[in-house]
Chains A and B, each alone.
Chain A
Amino acid sequence: MRYLNNKAGSAPSDSSEELISMPISISLQENLDRLTVLLDSCSDAVIREFSFGEPYRKGIIVFFDGLVDKKQIESNLLKPLLLELNMQNNQSLQLQQYSNILGHIQEHILSLADLKNLQTLQEVCHHITSGDTVFLIEGYATGLAAGTRSWQGRPVQTPENEVAVFGPKEGLSETLRFNTANLRRRLKSTQFKIESLVLGRISKTDVAVCYIEGIAPPELVKEVKARLGKIDIDAILDTGYLAELIADYKWTIFTQTEHTEKPDRICGQLLEGKVCLMVDGSPMALVLPISFPEYLISPEDYYIHFIPASLFRMLRFIAFVMALSLPSLYVALISYHQEMIPTSLLLTITATRQGVPFPAFMEALLLEATFEMLREAGLRLPRAVGPAVSIVGALIIGDAAVRAGLVSTPMVVVVAFTGIASFVSPSYNAGIIIRIARFAFLLSAAMLGFLGIIIAAILMLLRMVSLSSFGLPYMSPIAPFNLQQMGDILMRRPWFKSLKRPFLDGMENVIRQRNPANNGR
């Protein structure tokens, strides 16, 4: 076994483009030369030359160190060829007597589960970079790719960002295969399809398109695949790339896909006819299409009893509205509409505002910006300095600023309340939308008071109703209104009443429960 050394001057890069499109040659030496050029300066590539059989026949295996299970190569590939074949030969079974040695090896010698025939160097390169081991022998223009992929991946862990009290606690990890397996384990049906494609010229990332045949509208699956097919980019490092590349409307803060790292959530969405995209190397799956109200639905709603679930959901809708508009309502009230504040409350607020140097809008803007900064800092803080920033945030900004008379206490309360309310949203995407829109609301409140807030709300709603996600209207089922589906938006429909799936355009099978006999009293 030898590591390829960096050979200075060899293999000009323009010829490697040419080389890669070549078929595998009959001559092993030629293949070896070409591979040496292609794998030049790849210090982790391994080419192992050996001879086997009687009479000796030359062969090589190529793989990338670190991506393969070397024990498996040794016991299932090298050992049968180098030792067991010879033992068979001792029993006077000449290798020569087989007209197709490669075929014989494939069928009778190698004890590997996953073997594929390769014809081109392109395929060879793809397989070795994916962690397979490619086996080439003298005199055959066909290579064998042995599935020996094995690397250190993050095991299945509890998702850090989507914490749930009830329900499954597994999260996706970075390895696509683990993730598809995770889904397959929950949907034990051949109807559940995982189509695979490779995106990214350099990254050659595996992308899985998951859907349930017979439930997902075929048009939707076709459209998703068509849009993915149009992507020509050097690398896909996360599902976020895809979300942006395949969105219906790109110049907007209203994202039209849902990111999740919970397999149970994905399965729930798949059963509603959605399509899920997963990218190798990313623990976030993309669910589409999605309408805005669905952002406020937590998968947990479906695991707990429907009455508390419905109440929590309503609470979430209220919190959403508050997170969006509370600072702007407060600024509009105290700058323009003082007559709407009950006198005793106004007295309290006015008392706290005595000597505050900034107008209410500036104060709100400063505090909101500070809060956003704290939050952004908190996201990326090393664990060791986390408490330090919390203390600075709580003491300096919360307490000292008020004591120094730089900000008023009600404003701190409003901003803190808004902060809490914005964390209520179960979807990170919805949280981002709220955070951005809140500033627009604040600005319009400072300019025109309640009128400004109304204008901002109208503009925002106009934009939202004009969007769509893969043909699904963004505000559905609120606009266009669908009473049947609204039953599962503002409230959580009890399972015994969920006879049909939420309807997606083109969905074939909408029946969820076949036997409505147990309808309950």
Chain B
Amino acid sequence: MKRLTALLLIMVFLSGCGKIELNNAAVPLALGLDFQNDELLLTTQLANLSMPGKAQTDTSEFKVVTARGKTVAEAARNINLYISPVPLWSQTQVAILGDNLSRRDITPIVDFLVRNRYVRKNDLIIVSHQASPEQILSVKPYLEPYTAIALKNILEIQAGQIGIYPPISANEFIQKLAAPGVEPVIPMVSLKKIGAANQIELSGMAVFKKDRMIGQLNELESRGYFLMRPERYYGGLFPVLWNEGEKQWLTIEISNSKATIIPQIQQQQLRMKIKIDAEGNLYEQGGTSDLFTRETFMQVEKACENEVARQLSTCIQKAQLLNSDFLGWGQMIARSEPEIWKSAGPQWDNIFPAVPYELDITFKIRRTYETDKTFVFR
């Protein structure tokens, strides 16, 4: 009994390893990494919290702090040289890679992303374009207290609403860096001057090859990439130019799209067959010419198919131009034709830019939202 009591007392008083009290903790919402003067820069956005109901002297919603170090972990710990609370790193929402870092070499940070248990693997990963992570995180966003959360929400919401840039998690980024036959491509954020203040804006995607960023995708190419991702694609809309008769823009909402990419061998020649099965709705018509006849409606579908084909082919051309297989064709070949990959793999860099492809796109318009007539002025 005495021993048991002693044990209990020891447990009570010596316990608490790994314990962080929230009383002296700060919540970092973003992990920004950059490179400057041979040192790694770690920037984070700490939520500036105060007791509700208490008068606050410092009314800013957040503090952006940056620390330097030889390694990422050292830089992260260096933060505590000048702020007192312990940052709960596991709460970060986004990881921002600085322009300098990603264009130069991301080798110094990759191991940190993989190994460190405080890096959330479902953090969205973003490249800050023509800006440092510190600049991005210092922006006071519209209608949302924290830039990091705003950035995360922007990424996720635009994917469903407009469908241009797929949000990429840190996990996917790491996996694509490590896997053969596929390269990562991640959204970019840049500063946009609105009046006197800066705002954040998504602006294309950063294409990686091996350890660095080698180029970028524009909006159209990003759409093509998004559509060709292996996941099912929901939501998002794009305008289609309608040239028959009256020239007008149609808005087409994609309700469901599925891409199937199959490597094929024809006459000793490797070619990629890209099949897209998409369904969409006619969301808006920019003119008054009657679209709702059997013939024109099929032509509308055809126009949609052409538009999708345009998005895909510009994206593929860009990939082949940059010679970065972010479409994952190499991986697909390795999976379905391992024999070919065995010989093609080592010289994939030479083969990829010239791989022919074939697009097979079906686009069906399913709904016109209870309005089966074109609006007519009378």
Contacts and interface: CB of A to CB of B under 8 A. Distances in A.
Nearest to A360: B21
Contacts of B118: 339
Interface stretch (A36-44, A168-176, A239-247, A343-351): A343-351
B223 to A, nearest CB: 30
A447 B88 contact: no
B91 A353 contact: no
Given A343-B149, A347-B47, A353 B16 contact: no
Contact of B19 (A335, A344, A405, A443): A335
- Classify chain B: how many residues form its interface, as a range: 20 to 34
Contact of B27 (A347, A357, A448): A347
Contacts of A355: 23, 51, 54
Nearest to B51: A354
A5 interface: no
Interface string B1-40: 0000000000110011011111101110100000000000
Interface in B181-227: none
Interface of A: 334-336, 338-339, 343-344, 346-347, 349-357, 359-360, 403, 405, 409, 443, 446-449
B52 interface: yes
B75 to A, nearest CB: 21
B29 A351 contact: no
A361 to B, nearest CB: 9
A349 B22 contact: yes
B225 to A, nearest CB: 29
A149 to B, nearest CB: 50
Given A346-B91, A447-B11, A335 B51 contact: no
Contacts of A347: 27, 47, 49
Given A351-B52, A352-B51, A360-B22, A443 B12 contact: yes
Given A338-B90, A448-B15, A350 B49 contact: yes
Given A335-B20, A448-B15, A405 B25 contact: no
Contact of B51 (A343, A344, A405): A405
A459 B249 CA distance: 69
B260 to A, nearest CB: 36
A335 B21 contact: yes
A131 B49 CA distance: 74
A345 to B, nearest CB: 11
Contact of A339 (B19, B29, B88): B88
Contacts of B22: 334-335, 338, 349-350, 353, 360
A346 B149 CA distance: 13
A447 B12 contact: yes
B91 A343 contact: yes
A451 to B, nearest CB: 10
A238 to B, nearest CB: 31
8 contacts: A335-B21, A336-B19, A338-B22, A343-B149, A350-B27, A351-B52, A403-B53, A449-B19
A340 to B, nearest CB: 9
Interface string B237-263: 000000000000000000000000000
Given A338-B22, A354-B51, A343 B15 contact: no
B93 A343 contact: yes
Given A339-B90, A339-B120, A446 B47 contact: no
B16 to A, nearest CB: 7
Given A343-B27, A359-B21, A449-B18, 20 more contacts: A335-B19, A335-B22, A336-B19, A336-B20, A339-B88, A339-B91, A339-B120, A346-B27, A347-B49, A350-B47, A354-B49, A354-B51, A355-B23, A355-B51, A355-B54, A356-B23, A357-B23, A360-B21, A409-B52, A448-B15
